[in-house]
Amino acid sequence: MYICAIVFLKKIKNVVLMAIQSSNQNTNPTPITSSTAKEADIFENTLRPKALDEYIGQSRLKENLKVFLAAAKKRNEPLEHTLLYGPPGLGKTTMASIIAHEMGGKLKVTSAPAIQKQGDLAAVLSNLKPGDVLFIDEIHRMSSSVEEILYSAMEDYVLDIMIGKGPSARTMRLNIPQFTLIGATTKFAMLSSPLRDRFGHIFKLEFYSESEISQIIHRSARILEYQVTEEACKKLAKCARRTPRVANRLLKRVRDFADIDENTHNIIDLEITKKTMSALGIDELGLNRTDIDLLKTLIEKFKGGPVGLNTLSAATGEDSGTIEDVYEPFLIQLGMLDRSPRGRIATENAYQHLGLDISDLKKKQEALF
Ligand code: ADE
């Protein structure tokens, strides 16, 4: 009788699992994206370091991670769930693929907006193998109902699935393989505290130094079988917004200009680099047309601010999220923009860089004191 009940329950579990997977196939393709799918990704994957020792920069994170990886391996356990946060392009996905490689597991990549229903997450989790690493990008955008079932998956490797509706609804507990979740976000503050608290490791990715970006450019050029002169590399590094993704993208563009020039022979020198930066509208500090437009609008239309993000977005036609995540962090790093409770403010550095009259700013500062 007891054995019959267990067999019956197992059968129900299998039916539920199959239902999760087939409902997912019918309505929404599995939200796992193969990281080799897109052309841009192929380029990024070629240049992406595979092992921690190949990774340039983020030295404190690397040193700590080395210890945590070695300890987890020694105990034969998966690495504890890890949260990576910081501006885009600093290497969150790269770090996740390194963690998977170092732990000997497979990396499965998805993003919170792709996981719309509890069933989507259930399908992703039930397809994992022990030791796999699940990377969820933009984890701050996870819906609360999906987040709810993620908690037990993270803590106890179980999925509590609700079957049926109303008074006859029942929860069914499914075991899932021991895995490591790597959550990535550009908006750390938008994570709910119960989710944040379930990560064993929380790492902030910092902007890179110019010397680290130079090393990354040299490494990428070597892989692509191009030679970059020291001067060209310094120039590229200065224009790369202290961000590896930007550095590799600029290298790719200079390579295009070098390829159509018959005299360069796989050598990237200062001349071709300057020509490329000027064609792309990137100035000597790495600011592009949008950065300049943002600063000019702030200064010329709004007397240097403070101005609210949405007003700045309407005035420039740039999406407010893109201004906040992509443009502002670098402008703040350069000391050209400040965030205040009343809005965005252009600093003296911005006036000087754009060659604009600073007297307005001075008058405003005097009036404040
Ligand atoms: N390519 C992109 N990011 C890198 C990094 N941090 N180190 C080495 N190569 C990279």
Return per-residue pLDDT of the chain as tens, 369 residues. 555 555 544 555 555 555 555 444 444 555 665 444 455 666 677 899 999 999 999 999 999 999 999 999 999 999 999 999 999 999 999 999 999 999 999 999 999 999 999 989 999 999 999 999 999 999 999 999 999 999 999 999 999 888 888 888 888 899 999 999 999 999 999 999 999 999 999 999 999 999 999 999 999 999 999 999 999 999 999 999 999 999 999 999 999 999 998 877 789 999 999 999 999 999 999 999 999 999 999 999 999 999 999 999 999 999 999 999 999 999 999 999 999 999 999 999 999 999 998 887 767 666 665
105 lines ligand 1 (CB under 6 A): no
Q: Whose CA is nearest to atom 3 of ligand 1?
A: 244
Residue with tokens 């701050």: 140
Q: How far apart are the first and last CA of the chain?
A: 85
Ligand 1 neighbourhood includes 216 CB (under 6 angstroms): yes
Ligand 1 nearest atom to the CA of residue 245, by list position: 2
56 Cβ below 6 A of ligand 1? yes
Catalytic site positions: 92-93, 137, 186, 245
Q: What is the pLDDT of residue 41?
A: 66
Length of the chain: 369
User: 258 φ, ψ to 5°?
Assistant: -65, -40
Q: Which residues contact 315 (CB under 8 A, 6 or more apart)?
A: 297, 301, 302, 307
Task: State the CB neighbour count (10 A cutoff) for residue 324.
Answer: 18
Residue 154 Cα to ligand 1 midpoint, Å, equals 29
| Three-class DSSP category at 31 | coil
Kindly report the number of other CB atoms within 10 A of residue 221's CB atom. Answer: 23
47 lines ligand 1 (CB under 6 A): yes
Q: What pLDDT was estimated at residue 30?
A: 57
Residue 258: partners with Cβ closer than 8 Å, 6 or more residues away: 226, 264, 266, 267, 268, 272
Helical axes 144-156 vs 118-126, angle rounded to 10°: 30
pTM comes to 0.85
User: For residue 78, how far is its CA from the centre of ligand 1 (angstroms)?
Assistant: 24
Question: Cα 91 from chain centroid?
Answer: 7
> How far is ligand 1, taken at its centre, from the CA of residue 257, in Å?
23
User: Rounded to a whole number, what is the largest CA-CA distance in the chain?
Assistant: 89
Distance 318 CA to ligand 1 centre (A): 29
Q: Which of 62, 208, 210, 219 to mutate to test the pocket of ligand 1 (most atoms within 8 A of CB)?
A: 219
If you take atom 1 of ligand 1, which residue's CA is the nearest one? 48
Please tell me the distance from the alpha carbon of residue 119 to that of residue 161, in angstroms, as a whole number: 8
Q: How far from the centroid of its chain's Cα atoms is residue 196's Cα?
A: 17
Residues with Cβ within 8 Å of 155's Cβ and at least 6 positions away in sequence, in order, are: 198
* SS percent in the chain: helix, strand, coil, step 5: 55, 15, 30
Binding site membership of 244 for ligand 1 (Cβ less than 6 Å): yes
Nearest atom, ligand 1, residue 208 CA: 6
The reply to whether ligand 1 has any atom less than 6 angstroms from the CB of 219 is yes
Q: What is the pLDDT of residue 114?
A: 97
What is the structure's pLDDT at 36?
Answer: 41
Question: How far apart (Å, rounded) are the C-alpha atoms in residues 121 and 32?
Answer: 10
Ligand 1: centre distance to CA 368 (Å): 45
Query: Is the shortest distance between the CB of 305 and ligand 1 below 6 Å?
Result: no
Contact 105, 225 (CB under 8 A): no
